[in-house]
Copies of this chain bind each other. A is one copy, B any other.
């Protein structure tokens, strides 16, 4: 009797330790902690990383649902069947640009229709379509002109540019591969540099580049000092050359700009949601990974505007009992486990910060189910406090497991009132909602009574500035009372400085301040924004990977098992051979399906029926109708289901109705099997 094998080390827990330690390192650095303290934390991080790498190597790769061979077969199929092809291919192509061919174009149209149906139609969102080009003021105000950057180094000889973090990672990988005899400690040091690459400052990464003596990969020449490169495409609007424009890096901004008109369209009522489907553009320094990191891509975004004091959702009860896989920020820093929890529990326990955010996580989950994403390879990961955007109060990514690992395919951020606030301030256009009380409420109000004559004479042109400063004093009761107190005791008080650095000494005679109690019937507020944001190319990638399989047989044949509602073509019409007797039936079936708005594809080529099925399977056509000699005699056809390959015989007069039900999901294949005679499958060769 042998001993049982030792329990494998828990990879989740180990991964969580790495995450936790990484967060600590970032925090220490952000807070400017002493060097030795940072070093100690970094050393600990190194150790954990190595331990994790070793364990992963020992336990073998996790199942990603798609073998390397299958991934290769899928990539081949995607190009060969013109799902996705490189743009400008005849001129050699350019990284980060892809064209969608006929099957992917239809798939995407169906996916977007499903998205509109699920999010816009069912929840009565307002949909808008704004421009791709935007003037600088919009993106300067939103923060993109200053902050939407990656670190870049430039070859001093050829001028070629590289993303600094990627170059460092590649360098370390090569170094380790070429130097098998390095001590473990040396290896650790190198790996650590690669791990930290993305979070280095320009100075830090420059120092590491110097230490390694990293040169430009092409020419071997020196590299420039790393500089932040803005990822937005810039151009000139109009002929003068003085109006800078950018291609939008996200569709969200167009919605914020239209907030006031949208609120009016919605009869002044909040909460409401607004959606936009459209392109976004990012001038990636190093595009890669097919549709995952491209320079031009499609987003589908929702901005749900709510009262920051009441983020409940009117339809939350409909999703309250739905269970989601959550990787909380706490768990990422403790045991690394993904937990299953109902939306109601997650909100009650304060894990998801409010109902509206939880509602949209649930809706996203249900959408993924509809479009055929494998729900076992899906989770919602909460952003750590150290990784969130400065304006976000809570943020959950929809992560889908692909062959390249867990990939963010949609974000769900509570952006608070950041965007409306900055645009309102810059444009001087009020963007507020009004909360009307059921009954008037008593409120303390700061009232300022100025002596306009005295003020005007004393300050002349500055009077307007002073008025603005007094308005903002009203908003801060404590400061207002302190100001009044100073006026009362000293006879004068200093107002300001404001953001321009201006300040003014006001005297007792010029104004008085008091706090009154007033009955008010409403309250204005700048709405918070809950933002679900989908990357359509990434969702498509998930659909491709989760729905591709190779059917066992003489030769492994690729099958795309798209859900019928998003399948590019719903039914194939396949005559058994090119016998002329079949022709009228082909025409009749085509007409039948066309009248019922069912996309069909006819294959009248002379290849064997098995080959025709294989072709249809590659395009993900869920149902095949075969015309054979029995059709000529009895006006019946066979109907084949793509994944089971099972076939039934159905009268032509019923075929279009039955296929329509199958496609809409109002009938299942099981129903069909019970209601029509099952036939032996035609040899699939």
A interface residues (Cβ-Cβ under 8 A, vs B): 81-82, 85, 87-91, 94-95, 97-102, 104-106, 108-109, 116-117, 121-122, 126-135, 137-138, 152, 154, 159-161, 229, 233-243, 245, 247, 254, 257-258, 260-262, 264-265, 267, 279, 281, 283, 285, 295-296, 423, 426-427, 429, 594, 597, 599, 605
Contact = CB atoms under 8 A, between A and B. Distances in A.
Contact of A94 (B135, B229, B281): B135
Nearest to A602: B124
Contacts of A257: 87-91
B261 A94 contact: no
A88 B135 contact: yes
A143 to B, nearest CB: 16
Contacts of A109: 116, 127
Contacts of A426: 91
A109 B91 CA distance: 34
Given A85-B261, A235-B233, A283-B238, A129 B152 contact: no
B88 A100 contact: no
A240 B161 contact: yes
20 contacts: A82-B262, A82-B264, A87-B131, A87-B134, A89-B257, A89-B258, A89-B261, A90-B429, A91-B427, A94-B238, A98-B131, A100-B128, A121-B599, A154-B239, A161-B238, A161-B239, A161-B240, A233-B236, A237-B283, A238-B285
Contact of A87 (B87, B94, B97, B130): B130
Given A82-B265, A135-B88, A159 B129 contact: no
A131 B296 contact: yes
B265 A97 contact: no
A128 B152 contact: no
Contacts of A239: 152, 154, 161, 229, 283, 285
Contacts of A233: 133, 235-237, 245
B265 A81 contact: yes
B241 A159 contact: yes
Of the listed residues A105, A154, A160, A242, the one surrounded by the most CB atoms of chain B closer than 10 A to its CB is A105
Given A95-B238, A121-B597, A234-B235, 6 more contacts: A91-B135, A94-B238, A100-B129, A132-B132, A233-B235, A235-B235
Contacts of A121: 594, 597, 599
B99 A281 contact: no
A237 B99 contact: no
A380 to B, nearest CB: 27
A35 B152 CA distance: 61
B240 A159 contact: yes
Contacts of A117: 597
A138 B94 CA distance: 12
B133 A296 contact: yes
Contacts of A599: 121
A657 to B, nearest CB: 16
Contact of A102 (B234, B265, B295): B265
Contacts of A161: 238-240
A585 to B, nearest CB: 18
Contacts of A101: 126, 128, 258, 261-262, 265
A378 B635 CA distance: 46
A387 to B, nearest CB: 25
Given A128-B100, A152-B239, A90 B295 contact: no
Contacts of A229: 239
A646 to B, nearest CB: 28
Contacts of A429: 90
A90 to B, nearest CB: 4
A106 B265 CA distance: 14
Contacts of A235: 233-235, 247
Nearest to A287: B238
B236 A138 contact: no
B160 A240 contact: yes
Contact of A127 (B97, B105, B247, B296): B105
